[in-house]
Amino acid sequence: MTAAAGSHGRIDELIRTAVFNLTADLSMKERHNRFLDLFSAVTGNQACALLRYQEGALVPAATRGLSPEVMGRAFRPEDHPRLAAIIAAKTPVRFPAEDARPDPYDGLMLGDESARLPVHACLGCALYNETTLFGVLTADALQPGLFDNVEDHVLQVFAAIATVALRNETYINALETLAEHRGQVAAELVSEALQRSRPILGESPAMQVLDREIDIVARSDLTVLLMGETGVGKEVLARIIHSRSLRSQQPLVHVNCAALPESLAESELFGHVRGAFTGASSDRIGKFELADGGTLLLDEVGELPLSIQAKLLRAVQFGEIQRVGSDRSHRVDVRIIAATNRLLPVEVREGRFRADLYHRLSMYPLQVPPLRERVEDIAILAGHFLEQSRVRLGLSRFSMTPATIRLLQDYAWPGNVRELEHVMLRAALRAADARDGAAVVQPVHLDGWGRASDVPRHCMPLVPESMGSLAARVDLFQIQLLQSTLAEVGGNWAQAARQLGVDRGNLHRLARRLGLKDSR
């Protein structure tokens, strides 16, 4: 048997394996990853990606050989001329090494410590089922001409397999949606399945477990209690629960309980009638009636005063509300999602939260893990926030060096996902380079942090190495913590004191010593 015949035989065997994986008892993620492994073995690429087309953008379904931040990106064809060229063609497209159009993965290939090396060999296949675009399959390498000997019919076979995989995934999503929304036609459901793609949660085991729990409870009408530290994304998860529920076409009404003054909390929640109190010049419905038929998110529910908790209990337990100043009761059909960063069992034990209300709210409790316990998600989330910054800043490309990713992963993130979002926005602004429409985030752009090796994961926020003494470092940490806490509570010093667990007077004295308040 000739060498060429042996090579063709091996390729045929790999293709048969790829086809077999379509029907194997595997998760969709594992199928995608195995497919890319086989595609890489046949083409010899150093990096490849399977991108799903949704809402006008190409979203990574799986990658191989690329930085993990890519999974947090969305590539709009109008911003990436090579992807646009691939979509416009019905046959495989190879780009010569001298092609002036930038590759969407320039600087994003693993092993590129500088995050600046250009891609020299690139090919792509559009994944069409008749006239419907399902996605794009790409392969990249640093060596020019690497794909010249890969035959078109081999690429077309892989493209056909990838199209079937993405089409089946879309149909599965459509069938799940069909079960939730009876009577809708299949075409509408496919569109809705694509539009309701899941936000970036992460791929860590902890978040995958939480994702499955959300799937279980979302289809019910059980009250959900989301617990977790400030900034972990409880509001985002509440929106996901609502979007996967049978109430998804109805309103999701958000109430920030921490921002409700005690004198107005009852009116905000339950409404009032004209003349109920000074300034009540007309009837007004409350948040419960606004959410009738849908979902009500009681954010920071642990901050509600005890006087309101008793009235809230009746609304949660029986669906009955009474407007302030009225003697009539109204029935509402509302699904409750509550969120808190407080330890409610402790609050109950110390008399600050009603035990009966706690048990009503915690019918299905979900604990949201802090970011420091899911390191695998940091690069993905950072890539997602960087992509948002790229769009806002009007740049063609943003990337991070491997050293930057390592530094992000070595940080303890006391402010969790919200802090990461703000850090990436600031880093993007510092790194933005309008000269060529591209930018690379380096460690120096990360708020003046020190070396990653200086910061064990159990430590609190990083500080510049130039800070010197321990006292100076402690002062800087206190300033950062106080500023971030005040930002979270809208500048409310009393609320900041409660959140930090300190006496309000002591907090004011500390702020004056640190120069955050006038010393008068």
The pLDDT, as a whole number, for residue 262 is 77
Q: Which domain holds residue 265?
A: 205-371
Contact call for residues 123 and 138 (beta carbons, < 8 A): yes
The pLDDT, as a whole number, for residue 352 is 92
> Do 165 and 263 belong together in one domain?
no
- End-to-end Cα, the chain, rounded Å: 92
Cβ-count burial 258-295 (b if 16+ within 10 Å, e if not): bebeeeebbbbbbbbbeebeeeeeeebebbbbebbebb
299/65 Cα distance (integer angstroms) = 40
Of 371, 398, 432, the position where a domain reaches its end is: 371
DSSP state of 401: -
CATH number of domain containing 363 = 3.40.50.300
Is the residue at 308 inside a domain?
Answer: yes
Angle at the Cα of 435 from the Cα atoms of 430 and 437, rounded to 5 degrees: 80
The pLDDT, as a whole number, for residue 73 is 92
In the chain, the percentage of residues whose pLDDT exceeds 70 is: 79
Q: What confidence tens digit (pLDDT) does each residue in 392-424 have?
A: 888 888 889 888 999 999 898 999 999 999 999
> Do 386 and 351 belong together in one domain?
no
CATH number of domain containing 449 = 1.10.8.60
> Do 9 and 100 belong together in one domain?
yes
Query: Cβ neighbours of residue 80 under 8 Å, at least 6 residues apart?
Result: 102, 104, 396
Q: Which two tokens stand for residue 84?
A: 């646009």
Query: Cβ neighbours of residue 224 under 8 Å, at least 6 residues apart?
Result: 217, 238, 241, 336, 337, 338, 363, 364, 365, 366
The pLDDT, as a whole number, for residue 60 is 93
Residue 33's CB is within 10 A of a number of other CB atoms, namely 17
318/192 Cα distance (integer angstroms) = 33
> Do 84 and 211 belong together in one domain?
no
Domain tally for the chain? 3
126/160 Cα distance (integer angstroms) = 10
Is the residue at 192 inside a domain?
Answer: no
The closest alpha carbon to 248, from 256, 258, 238, belongs to: 238
What mean pLDDT do residues 211-227 have?
A: 94
Least confident of 36-40, 270-274, 334-338, 456-460: 456-460
The pLDDT, as a whole number, for residue 96 is 86
How does the average pLDDT of the chain come out, rounded? Answer: 81
> Do 422 and 352 belong together in one domain?
no
Position 480, amino acid: Q
The closest alpha carbon to 76, from 394, 435, 380, belongs to: 394
The three-class DSSP label of residue 272 is: strand
Q: Which two tokens stand for residue 462?
A: 């990083």
Q: Which residue has the higher pLDDT, 342 or 178?
A: 342
516/40 Cα distance (integer angstroms) = 56
What is the reported pTM?
A: 0.65
Confidence of residue 63 (pLDDT cuts 50, 70, 90): very high
Confidence of residue 19 (pLDDT cuts 50, 70, 90): low
Strands 121-129 and 93-95, by their bridges, are antiparallel
Q: Given a cut of 90, is residue 77 above it in pLDDT?
A: yes
Look-up of token digits 């339950």 = 270
> Do 135 and 245 belong together in one domain?
no
> Do 423 and 345 belong together in one domain?
no
Q: DSSP of 197-247, one letter per residue?
A: PPP----SHHHHHHHHHHHHHHTS---EEEE--TTS-HHHHHHHHHHTSTT
What mean pLDDT do residues 160-177 have?
A: 74
Q: Given a cut of 60, is residue 255 above it in pLDDT?
A: yes
Of 331, 356, 371, the position where a domain reaches its end is: 371
> Do 50 and 148 belong together in one domain?
yes
Is the residue at 194 inside a domain?
Answer: no
> Do 165 and 311 belong together in one domain?
no
Is the residue at 184 inside a domain?
Answer: no
Rounded to a whole number of angstroms, the CA Rg of the chain reads: 27
The pLDDT, as a whole number, for residue 21 is 55
Is the residue at 199 inside a domain?
Answer: no
> Do 267 and 339 belong together in one domain?
yes
89/124 Cα distance (integer angstroms) = 10
In the chain, count of helices (H) and strands (E)? Answer: 18, 14
Least confident of 82-91, 199-208, 289-298, 415-424: 199-208
CATH number of domain containing 161 = 3.30.450.40
> Do 311 and 386 belong together in one domain?
no
Confidence of residue 181 (pLDDT cuts 50, 70, 90): very low
Is the residue at 196 inside a domain?
Answer: no
Is the residue at 190 inside a domain?
Answer: no
User: Exposed, middle or buried by CB within 10 Å (0-12, 13-18, 19+), for 17?
Assistant: middle
The pLDDT, as a whole number, for residue 16 is 64
> Do 395 and 305 belong together in one domain?
no
SS (HEC) of 318-361: HCEEECECCCCEEECCCEEEEEECCCHHHHHHCCCCCHHHHHHH
The three-class DSSP label of residue 445 is: helix
Q: Which residue has the higher pLDDT, 2 or 380?
A: 380
Is the residue at 519 inside a domain?
Answer: no
Confidence of residue 484 (pLDDT cuts 50, 70, 90): confident
Of 322, 342, 371, the position where a domain reaches its end is: 371
Alpha-carbon torsion (454, 458, 463, 468), positive or negative: negative
